[in-house]
Structure 1
Amino acid sequence: MRIIPDRLVALGFGKYVRSDKIVALLPIEEDRGSGRRTLVYVEGLAEPLVAGRTEGTIVRDMVGTESGAVELLRELQVQIAQVRPLLKSSIRSEAGLDLDRLAGRISDLTGEEGPAEGRPDASGRLL
């Protein structure tokens, strides 16, 4: 997961912290109740802030809802890289699904290069 920098994260009750300044989240187990769900440790503050939201909800705000989709795309890209070229060719001709092109589009969307094996270069040749 990647934290989206400069995103304001609501802690509840009018408290907000920048996502990239949150250092740690600790669920409150004792004296937990309304408005007391999570201790939020923030860079530059000696004491943690008490948040009225759960740590999972705070993390989702830090990384954005799109993070799950990106993780799924990365997993798909890894799986595509494991398919042998002959099978990719067969899938392409039988089903019209170009796995190499799909892997390239995933790289474009995520901004990250996937596994090199089985990925086409700029000219369309497989690496």
Structure 2
Amino acid sequence: MKVIQDRIVSLGFGKYVRADKIVALVPIEEDRGSGRRTLVYVENLPEPLVAGRTEGTIVRDMVGVESGAVELLRQLQMQIGQVRPLLKGSIRSEAGLDLDQLSHRISDLTGEQ
């Protein structure tokens, strides 16, 4: 994988760094939660930054493999999130389509919630 020079990568919660300055990504295992997913080691910084995004998501942004398909999945997930629970239940029982399960699968693929 080749990191895109001068590309700005979001670490979540208003933190951004240049992709070519990131030297290591370490998933947080203890005390992991919202806002605490990955330690990001950045060139010339003595301590790692705490990112609210997963290491996989950060790497995808660093190397630019984000395609139209990923963006489509994100849009679909946002729209699923706007469907009310009662309608989701009706869709599940009438069509056999579980929108919540689909949303979780999209989260797994994109590395975002």
* Alignment-mate amino acid for residue 56 of structure 1: G
- Deviation readout 1:67-91 (Å, 9 max, x if unpaired): 9xxxxxxxxxxxxxxxxxxxxxxxx
Aligned partner of 1:11: which letter?
Answer: L
Show the counterpart of 1:8. 8
Name structure 2 gaps, 5 residues minimum.
68-113
- Alignment of 1:61 with 2:61, yes or no, is yes
Instruction: Determine the structure 2 residue equivalent to 1:39.
Output: 39
- Normalised by the length of structure 1, the TM-score is 0.51
**Per the alignment, do residues 57 and 46 of structure 1 end up closer, same or farther by CA in structure 2, a change over 3 Å counting?**
same
The two structures have a TM-score, normalised by structure 2, of 0.58
Return the offset for 1:43: 0.1
Task: Tell me by how many angstroms 1:66 deviates.
Answer: 5.8
**How large is the Cα RMSD of the aligned pairs?**
1.3
Task: After the TM superposition, list the runs of 4 or more consecutive aligned residues in structure 1 that deviate by more than 3 angstroms.
Answer: none
For the pair 1:30 / 2:30, whether they are aligned, the reply is yes
Alignment correspondent of 2:48: 48
1:93-112 → structure 2 map (5 Å cutoff): none
TM-fit CA distance, 1:58: 0.1
User: Which structure is larger by alpha-carbon Rg, 1 or 2?
Assistant: 1
Q: Secondary structure at the match of 2:60?
A: helix
The gaps in structure 1 that reach 5 residues or longer are 68-127
- Counterpart residue identity of residue 19, structure 2: S
For 2:21 and 2:39, locate their aligned partners in 1 and report how far apart those are by CA, in whole Å.
14
Highest relative contact order (Cα 8 Å, sep 6+), 1 or 2? 2
Cα distance in structure 1, aligned partners of 2:58 and 2:17? 10
Q: Secondary structure at the match of 1:60?
A: helix
Between the aligned partners of 1:35 and 1:66, the Cα distance in structure 2 is 22
Deviation at 1:65, TM superposition (A): 1.7
